[in-house]
Protein backbone atom coordinates (compact mmCIF):
# COMPACT_ATOMS: atom_id res chain seq x y z
CA UNK A 1 0.00 0.00 0.00
CA UNK A 2 2.93 2.34 0.70
CA UNK A 3 4.11 2.31 -2.95
CA UNK A 4 0.64 3.17 -4.20
CA UNK A 5 0.29 6.03 -1.70
CA UNK A 6 3.71 7.33 -2.73
CA UNK A 7 2.74 7.18 -6.40
CA UNK A 8 -0.48 9.09 -5.75
CA UNK A 9 1.34 11.76 -3.70
CA UNK A 10 3.93 12.11 -6.47
CA UNK A 11 1.27 12.49 -9.14
CA UNK A 12 -0.60 15.11 -7.10
CA UNK A 13 2.61 17.06 -6.39
CA UNK A 14 3.58 16.85 -10.06
CA UNK A 15 0.25 18.27 -11.12
CA UNK A 16 0.30 21.26 -8.80
CA UNK A 17 3.99 22.19 -8.56
CA UNK A 18 5.70 23.88 -11.46
CA UNK A 19 8.93 21.96 -12.04
CA UNK A 20 10.97 22.88 -15.09
CA UNK A 21 13.41 20.21 -16.19
CA UNK A 22 16.36 21.51 -18.21
CA UNK A 23 16.66 20.20 -21.76
CA UNK A 24 20.07 18.73 -20.91
CA UNK A 25 18.32 16.18 -18.68
CA UNK A 26 15.63 15.27 -21.20
CA UNK A 27 17.09 11.78 -21.69
CA UNK A 28 17.76 11.00 -18.03
CA UNK A 29 14.50 12.03 -16.37
CA UNK A 30 12.11 9.84 -18.41
CA UNK A 31 14.33 6.80 -17.89
CA UNK A 32 14.51 7.52 -14.16
CA UNK A 33 10.72 7.94 -14.00
CA UNK A 34 10.23 4.64 -15.82
CA UNK A 35 12.59 2.93 -13.36
CA UNK A 36 10.71 4.48 -10.45
CA UNK A 37 7.35 3.34 -11.84
CA UNK A 38 8.75 -0.16 -12.25
CA UNK A 39 9.70 -0.17 -8.58
CA UNK A 40 6.30 1.15 -7.51
CA UNK A 41 4.45 -1.51 -9.50
CA UNK A 42 6.83 -4.16 -8.15
CA UNK A 43 6.19 -2.94 -4.62
CA UNK A 44 2.44 -3.01 -5.11
CA UNK A 45 2.70 -6.52 -6.54
CA UNK A 46 4.74 -7.61 -3.51
CA UNK A 47 2.11 -6.04 -1.23
CA UNK A 48 -0.69 -7.98 -2.91
CA UNK A 49 1.33 -11.19 -2.64
CA UNK A 50 2.01 -10.51 1.05
CA UNK A 51 5.78 -10.24 0.48
CA UNK A 52 6.31 -6.47 0.74
CA UNK A 53 9.36 -5.31 2.71
CA UNK A 54 9.95 -1.58 2.90
CA UNK A 55 13.77 -1.77 3.02
CA UNK A 56 13.85 -3.87 -0.14
CA UNK A 57 11.40 -1.50 -1.83
CA UNK A 58 13.34 1.65 -0.92
CA UNK A 59 16.73 0.21 -1.91
CA UNK A 60 15.29 -1.11 -5.17
CA UNK A 61 13.55 2.16 -5.92
CA UNK A 62 16.66 4.31 -5.56
CA UNK A 63 18.93 1.63 -7.02
CA UNK A 64 16.81 1.34 -10.17
CA UNK A 65 16.61 5.10 -10.61
CA UNK A 66 20.36 5.55 -10.15
CA UNK A 67 21.32 2.68 -12.46
CA UNK A 68 18.91 3.80 -15.16
CA UNK A 69 20.15 7.38 -14.96
CA UNK A 70 23.80 6.27 -15.05
CA UNK A 71 23.11 4.09 -18.09
CA UNK A 72 21.52 7.03 -19.85
CA UNK A 73 24.46 9.27 -18.89
CA UNK A 74 27.04 6.71 -20.02
CA UNK A 75 25.26 6.26 -23.32
CA UNK A 76 25.10 10.01 -23.77
CA UNK A 77 28.86 10.30 -23.23
CA UNK A 78 29.58 7.42 -25.63
CA UNK A 79 27.05 8.63 -28.21
CA UNK A 80 25.32 5.27 -28.01
CA UNK A 81 21.63 5.07 -27.07
CA UNK A 82 22.20 2.76 -24.08
CA UNK A 83 19.17 4.29 -22.37
CA UNK A 84 17.04 2.22 -24.75
CA UNK A 85 18.18 -0.90 -22.89
CA UNK A 86 16.85 0.57 -19.64
CA UNK A 87 13.61 1.61 -21.35
CA UNK A 88 13.17 -1.89 -22.74
CA UNK A 89 13.91 -3.69 -19.46
CA UNK A 90 11.95 -1.41 -17.16
CA UNK A 91 9.09 -1.11 -19.65
CA UNK A 92 8.73 -4.87 -20.03
CA UNK A 93 8.94 -5.37 -16.25
CA UNK A 94 6.32 -2.65 -15.76
CA UNK A 95 3.86 -4.40 -18.07
CA UNK A 96 4.68 -7.78 -16.54
CA UNK A 97 4.05 -6.47 -13.02
CA UNK A 98 0.81 -4.84 -14.17
CA UNK A 99 -0.38 -8.14 -15.66
CA UNK A 100 0.40 -9.99 -12.43
CA UNK A 101 -1.28 -7.27 -10.33
CA UNK A 102 -4.36 -7.49 -12.52
CA UNK A 103 -4.50 -11.27 -12.12
CA UNK A 104 -4.05 -11.03 -8.34
CA UNK A 105 -6.82 -8.46 -8.01
CA UNK A 106 -9.17 -10.49 -10.20
CA UNK A 107 -8.46 -13.70 -8.29
CA UNK A 108 -9.10 -11.89 -4.98
CA UNK A 109 -12.39 -10.54 -6.34
CA UNK A 110 -13.39 -13.99 -7.58
CA UNK A 111 -12.59 -15.62 -4.26
CA UNK A 112 -14.73 -13.01 -2.46
CA UNK A 113 -17.62 -13.72 -4.84
CA UNK A 114 -17.28 -17.46 -4.24
CA UNK A 115 -17.31 -16.92 -0.47
CA UNK A 116 -20.43 -14.74 -0.74
CA UNK A 117 -22.22 -17.36 -2.82
CA UNK A 118 -21.25 -20.08 -0.35
CA UNK A 119 -22.49 -17.95 2.55
CA UNK A 120 -25.83 -17.39 0.80
CA UNK A 121 -26.38 -21.11 0.31
Query: Does the pLDDT at position 94 exceed 90?
Result: yes
Q: Is residue 101 part of a domain?
A: yes
Where in the sequence is the domain holding 99, given as residue range(s)?
29-120
Q: How many domains does the chain have?
A: 1
102 falls within a domain: yes
Q: Considering the entire predicted model, what is its pTM?
A: 0.76
Confidence of residue 92 (pLDDT cuts 50, 70, 90): very high
What is the DSSP track for 67-91? HHHHHHHHHHHHTS-THHHHHHHHH
Q: How far apart are CA 77 and CA 81, in angstroms?
A: 10
Contacts of 17 (CB under 8 A, 6+ apart): none
Measured distance CA(83)–CA(62) in Å, rounded: 17
pLDDT tens-digit readout, 16-71: 887 788 888 888 888 998 998 999 899 989 999 999 998 999 999 999 999 888 98
Count of CA atoms in the C-beta half-sphere (13 A) of 41: 19
Residue 77 counted as domain residue: yes
> Within a domain: residue 34?
yes
Residue 20 located in a structural domain = no
The reply to whether 5 falls in a domain is no
What is the predicted pLDDT for the residue at 121?
60
- The pair phi, psi for residue 20, each rounded to 5°, is -95, 125
The predicted model gives 97-102 an average pLDDT of 94
Amino acid sequence: MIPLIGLLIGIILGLFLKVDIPAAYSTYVPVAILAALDSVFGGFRAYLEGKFESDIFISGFFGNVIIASLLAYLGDRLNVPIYLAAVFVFGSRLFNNFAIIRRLILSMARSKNVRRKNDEV
